[in-house]
Amino acid sequence: MTVKIKISNSGTLPVVKSGIMAMPSTADGRLVPHLILHTKGDDSLLNLIKIHRDTPPGDVQSQWGTKRFSSKKIFLILNFYRPVELEIAVEFDLARHHHAIDGILKNRAVYLQPGKVGDKLSDDVNAPKLLLEIPARTTFPDWKGIQEKHVRKILKKEGVSRKNMGKAVDDYISLRRDVWGKRMK
């Protein structure tokens, strides 16, 4: 049985830029996806991040989801309970952010940074951000099929023949996942 969740547009924060961060002292030196979220002038996420600086780690529940009948948009729903209650849904555009989704699923972590369209990590490396652990129990059972279908579309546009498509999809995904296995020492 699939759990249905209603997400209001006001709680949806689209990813405007994604990247990768790694520090030897954080997440065992793994590469962790870094997302800049368009907060649309709402300071709730920024306030949560500022409060987190001065308090012990809080509690958050996470869940993956898609829109009904469409997987063009993928959502990571986050319910923060401590130190402040907040619910947000990180909205990924599958065409632009499928690598970040795969990285979050592989390394079980993500950096969130509030921002606006046009912001980049390199603009201000010290901007307030929050490192979240996405626990193993936060599964996304449909991801393998969604990812393979999307990669097939990409490779078809590149001219890969139907005969070679299966191996090409596997190679593409494997090569991209090798990046997420790297560690900083």
Residues 6 or more apart whose CB falls under 8 angstroms from that of 108 comprise 133, 134, 135, 136
113 lies in some domain: yes
1 lies in some domain: no
86 lies in some domain: yes
44 torsion bin: left (phi>0), alpha (psi -120 to 50), beta (else) = alpha
72 lies in some domain: yes
Task: Read off the pTM.
Answer: 0.89
71 lies in some domain: yes
Q: 133 has which bridge partners?
A: 109
For residue 174, the enclosing domain spans 9-180
State the chain's maximal CA–CA distance in angstroms.
Answer: 57
| pLDDT tens digit sequence for 129-162 | 999 999 888 888 889 999 999 999 999 999 999 9
State the Rg of the chain over Cα: 17
| pLDDT tens digit sequence for 67-115 | 878 889 999 999 998 888 999 999 999 999 999 999 999 999 999 999 9
Number of domains in the chain: 1
